[in-house]
């Protein structure tokens, strides 16, 4: 095993970049809030899951084993509502969408979590946690048989989302509607449901409990399942930024008040994928699924490339242009790999032989708060400086192992090489190239230069001949 290379990661709680050190000195225990299985996950959801996958890969490639738990939310307001609309049992309905989710994860080359527990399979664990919270004075049952967490009983409530900066006051909005919804509004700060008494609209979806029939509130499942599989204290907890409040805040309250541990020691949140400058979400109807993009001829590896190409802490705007650029970038990597293979490397280097080698700068950049765009820049910088034909045999081998080390860390699979002549030049690029050629013909050197730079920034270069030019991916 490789000695663990220091990895730093921003922590939402302390707002600092902190070095990852496993609490038990051996294994990084990592919990991710998983999908709500009531429809296809969109590529915004996958931005978060892919970023979590890159984190796990970097930890493992750095020499530290992980224990990765990602749950399935298979009972909540939305799964119950939509299973009934579909006329299916909750189990059949969520199984269908879970299988679809798994197929998309495999296509996007996500490592399967070591444990994938479901909320429905852990109802007794959730009931036990509620009992402890009631015994310790942190929860109370209401007359209808619902149970609520008493936010005022936990003075640390709000630390993760820095509520003190948002001037939200306890009790500002404690209407029953706000308290019972799984996803109450960002600006309300209310006691929240741990157990929801059976309602007619729940149909057959209710379970017995000491407070009567009902079902768990959404926030409770992650507290109960992380305790079961990772213990009272574990290393890193992750989700998209929309989960910071109230979901993660509530998880902390439930876990810290029902155990003697501190729950997650590091919080890793992924900023949203946007589309046309707005959040991509099911309720806004502006989402793309992996299948939508595959139908338009894009490969999942290209989608993965786009999703990792922006820093996980910055918003990323999804465009089709970025998918075209991803295709060119992956082609460039595949052509470089082919040139190394032609110098006699084995097609798939053994995992144990991989080492950053000449890509050490790219690896170092990646371990600095998962700076994927910086690491990709360093990979292409190294490729641009390297002429496989001019390398010694030992250099060829080191370069090949280094390239595959980075591909493995980023989870990128190389696509088959497209015929170069067949590389499609997007219309926008062709127009810019034509404008540049015309500027050059009319000796407007400043304009020609500016257009060349613009093309360069978009990932394209121009080779001029006597009577014309050729546009090529960088
Ligand atoms: P859900 O299936 O709604 O529970 O969400 C699954 C994961 O996707 C959670 O970690 C969310 O925070 C995350 N998520 C939801 N929308 C987006 C988005 N537009 N960009 C990135 N992550 C998102
Ligand atoms: Zn969760």
In a shared domain, residues 322 and 460: no
Q: Judge whether 359 and 340 are in contact, CB under 8 Å.
A: no
In a shared domain, residues 263 and 391: no
> What percent of the chain stands above pLDDT 90?
75
The pTM for the full model equals 0.87
In a shared domain, residues 135 and 177: yes
In a shared domain, residues 315 and 451: no
CA distance 133 to 118: 22
CA distance 274 to 185: 20
Please give the distance, rounded to the nearest whole angstrom, from the Cα atom of residue 54 to the centre of ligand 2. 19
The number of the ligand nearest the C-alpha atom of 36 reads 1
Please give the distance, rounded to the nearest whole angstrom, from the Cα atom of residue 313 to the centre of ligand 2. 19
CA distance 269 to 239: 5
- Terminal Cα-to-Cα distance of the chain (whole angstroms): 36
pLDDT of residue 324: 93
The mean pLDDT value for 320-337 works out to 95
What SS3 class is residue 189?
coil
Query: Per-residue pLDDT for 179 more than 80?
Result: no
Residue 298 lies in a domain: no
| Residue closest by Cα to atom 14 of ligand 1 | 45
Residue 279 lies in a domain: no
pLDDT of residue 426: 73
Return mean pLDDT, the chain. 90
Residue where one domain finishes, among candidates 252, 270, 288: 270
CATH code at position 331: 1.20.120
User: Which of the residue ranges 179-183, 245-249, 320-324 would you say has the lowest mean pLDDT?
Assistant: 179-183
Sign of the dihedral defined by the CA atoms of residues 234, 112, 122, 183, in that order: positive
Burial (CB count within 10 angstroms: exposed 0-12, middle 13-18, buried 19+), residue 185: exposed
Residue where one domain finishes, among candidates 366, 388, 410: 410
Confidence of residue 369 (pLDDT cuts 50, 70, 90): very high
In a shared domain, residues 24 and 168: yes
List, for residues 381-392, the tens digit of each pLDDT value. 999 999 999 999
Please give the distance, rounded to the nearest whole angstrom, from the Cα atom of residue 212 to the centre of ligand 2. 25
Residue where one domain finishes, among candidates 270, 300, 319: 270
Among 32, 43, 44, 307, the mutation site with the greatest number of ligand 1 atoms within 8 A of its Cβ is 44
In a shared domain, residues 122 and 54: yes
pLDDT of residue 165: 62
Q: Look at 430 and 329; give whichever has higher pLDDT.
A: 329
List, for residues 342-359, the tens digit of each pLDDT value. 998 888 888 889 999 999
The helix (H) or strand (E) run that includes residue 219 is none
Please give the distance, rounded to the nearest whole angstrom, from the Cα atom of residue 307 to the centre of ligand 1. 13
- 82-89 long-range contacts (CB < 8 A, ≥24 apart) are 82/38, 82/39, 83/38, 83/205, 84/201, 84/203, 89/204
Angle at 413 between CA 412 and CA 419, to 5 degrees: 120
CA distance 130 to 36: 22
Q: Which atom of ligand 1 is nearest to the CA of 47?
A: 21
CA distance 281 to 284: 5
> Mapped to the 3 state alphabet, what secondary structure does 333-365 carry?
HHHHHHHHHCCCCCCCCCHHHCCCHHHHHHHHH
| Residue closest by Cα to atom 11 of ligand 1 | 240
In a shared domain, residues 256 and 321: no
Q: Judge whether 242 and 272 are in contact, CB under 8 Å.
A: yes
User: Which residues have their alpha-adjacent CB atom under 5 A from ion ligand 2?
Assistant: 33, 222
The number of the ligand nearest the C-alpha atom of 78 reads 1
Q: Could you tell me the residue range of the domain that residue 449 belongs to?
A: 424-473
Specify which residues 8 forms β-bridges with.
19, 368
47 CB less than 6 Å from ligand 1? yes
Extract the tokens encoding 96: 């269908």
The number of the ligand nearest the C-alpha atom of 40 reads 1
The mean pLDDT value for 419-445 works out to 77
pLDDT of residue 185: 38
Q: Judge whether 67 and 173 are in contact, CB under 8 Å.
A: no
The number of the ligand nearest the C-alpha atom of 275 reads 1
Query: Per-residue pLDDT for 195 more than 70?
Result: yes
The number of the ligand nearest the C-alpha atom of 226 reads 2
> Mapped to the 3 state alphabet, what secondary structure does 100-165 carry?
HHHHHHHHCCCCCCCECCECHHHHHHHHHHHHHHHHCCCEEECCCCCEEECHHHCCCCCCCCCHHH
Among 102, 242, 270, the mutation site with the greatest number of ligand 1 atoms within 8 A of its Cβ is 242
Residue 443 lies in a domain: yes
Please give the distance, rounded to the nearest whole angstrom, from the Cα atom of residue 33 to the centre of ligand 1. 9
User: Which of the residue ranges 1-5, 102-106, 419-423, 438-442 would you say has the lowest mean pLDDT?
Assistant: 1-5
Q: Which atom of ligand 1 is nearest to the CA of 73?
A: 4
For residue 294, give every residue at least 6 positions away whose Cβ sits within 8 Å of its Cβ, in sequence order, or none.
Answer: 107, 300
pLDDT of residue 172: 45
pLDDT of residue 465: 65
Residue 357 lies in a domain: yes
In a shared domain, residues 229 and 87: yes
> Mapped to the 3 state alphabet, what secondary structure does 56-103 carry?
HHHHHHCCCCEEEEECEECCCHHHHHHHHHCCCCHHHHHHHHHHHHHH
The helix (H) or strand (E) run that includes residue 410 is helix 393-410
33 CB less than 6 Å from ligand 1? yes
331 CB less than 6 Å from ligand 1? no
42 CB less than 6 Å from ligand 1? no
Query: Per-residue pLDDT for 2 more than 60?
Result: no
Cβ of 179: how many Cβ atoms within 10 Å? Answer: 20
Please give the distance, rounded to the nearest whole angstrom, from the Cα atom of residue 453 to the centre of ligand 2. 45
Confidence of residue 457 (pLDDT cuts 50, 70, 90): confident
Residue 254 lies in a domain: yes
Query: Per-residue pLDDT for 184 more than 70?
Result: no
Query: Per-residue pLDDT for 42 more than 50?
Result: yes
In a shared domain, residues 361 and 442: no
The helix (H) or strand (E) run that includes residue 230 is helix 220-230
Report the number of distinct structural domains present in the chain: 3
Please give the distance, rounded to the nearest whole angstrom, from the Cα atom of residue 7 to the centre of ligand 2. 24
Residue 465 lies in a domain: yes
Query: Per-residue pLDDT for 365 more than 80?
Result: yes
Instruction: For 234-295, give the DSSP string.
Output: EEEEEEEGGGIIIIIHHHHHHHHHHSSS-EEEEEEEEPPEEETTEE--GGGT---BHHHHHH
Q: Judge whether 188 and 161 are in contact, CB under 8 Å.
A: no
CATH code at position 89: 3.40.50.620
Range with the largest mean pLDDT of 233-237, 450-454, 468-472: 233-237
Residue 196 lies in a domain: yes
Confidence of residue 176 (pLDDT cuts 50, 70, 90): very low
Residue 399 lies in a domain: yes
CA distance 460 to 385: 17
In a shared domain, residues 354 and 234: no
In a shared domain, residues 316 and 254: no
The helix/strand count (H/E) of the chain reads as 16, 15
In a shared domain, residues 398 and 256: no
Q: Judge whether 459 and 324 are in contact, CB under 8 Å.
A: no
Sheet holding 316-318, edge to edge: 278-279, 273-275, 316-318
């Amino acid at each position: 095993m490789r000695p663990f290379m220091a990895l730093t990661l921003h922590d939402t709680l302390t707002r600092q970049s902190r070095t990852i050190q496993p609490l038990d000195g051996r294994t990084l225990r990592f919990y991710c809030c998983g999908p709500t299985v009531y429809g296809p996950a969109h590529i915004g959801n996958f931005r978060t899951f892919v970023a979590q996958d890159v984190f796990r890969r970097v930890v493992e490639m750095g020499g530290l084993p992980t224990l990765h738990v990602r749950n399935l939310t298979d009972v909540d307001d939305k799964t119950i509502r939509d299973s009934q609309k579909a006329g299916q049992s909750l189990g059949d309905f969520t199984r269908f969408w879970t299988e679809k989710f798994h197929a998309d994860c495999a296509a996007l080359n996500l490592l399967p979590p070591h444990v994938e527990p479901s909320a429905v399979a852990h109802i007794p664990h959730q009931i036990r946690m509620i009992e402890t919270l009631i015994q310790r004075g942190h929860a109370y049952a209401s007359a209808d048989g619902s149970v609520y967490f008493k936010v005022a009983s936990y003075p640390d409530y709000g630390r993760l989302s820095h509520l003190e900066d948002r001037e939200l006051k306890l009790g500002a909005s404690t209407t029953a509607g706000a308290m019972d919804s799984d996803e109450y509004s960002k600006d309300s700060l209310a006691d929240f449901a741990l157990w929801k008494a059976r309602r007619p609209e729940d149909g057959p979806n209710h379970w017995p409990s000491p407070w009567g029939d009902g079902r768990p509130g959404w926030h409770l499942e992650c507290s109960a399942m992380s305790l079961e599989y990772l213990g009272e204290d574990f290393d890193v907890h992750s989700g998209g930024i929309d989960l910071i409040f109230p979901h993660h805040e509530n998880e902390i309250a439930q876990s810290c008040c029902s155990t003697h541990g501190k729950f997650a020691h590091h919080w890793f949140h992924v900023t949203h994928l946007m589309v046309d400058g707005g959040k991509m979400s099911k309720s806004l109807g502006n989402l793309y699924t992996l299948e939508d993009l595959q139908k338009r001829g894009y490969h999942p590896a290209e989608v993965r490339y786009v999703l990792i190409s922006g820093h996980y802490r910055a918003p990323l705007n999804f465009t089709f242009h970025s998918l075209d650029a991803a295709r060119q970038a992956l082609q460039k990597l595949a052509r470089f790999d082919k040139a190394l293979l032609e110098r006699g490397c084995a097609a798939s280097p053994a995992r144990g032989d991989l080492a950053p080698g000449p890509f050490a700068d790219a690896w170092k950049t990646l371990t600095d708060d998962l700076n994927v765009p910086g690491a990709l820049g360093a990979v292409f910088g190294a490729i641009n400086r390297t002429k496989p034909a001019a390398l010694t045999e030992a250099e060829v081998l080191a370069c090949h192992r280094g390239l595959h080390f980075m591909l493995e860390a980023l989870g990128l699979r190389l696509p088959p090489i497209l015929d170069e002549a067949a590389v499609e030049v997007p219309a926008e690029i062709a127009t810019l190239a034509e404008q540049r050629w015309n500027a050059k013909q009319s000796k407007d050197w400043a304009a020609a230069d500016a257009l060349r730079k613009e093309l360069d920034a978009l990932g394209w270069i121009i080779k001029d001949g006597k009577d014309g030019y050729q546009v090529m991916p960088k």
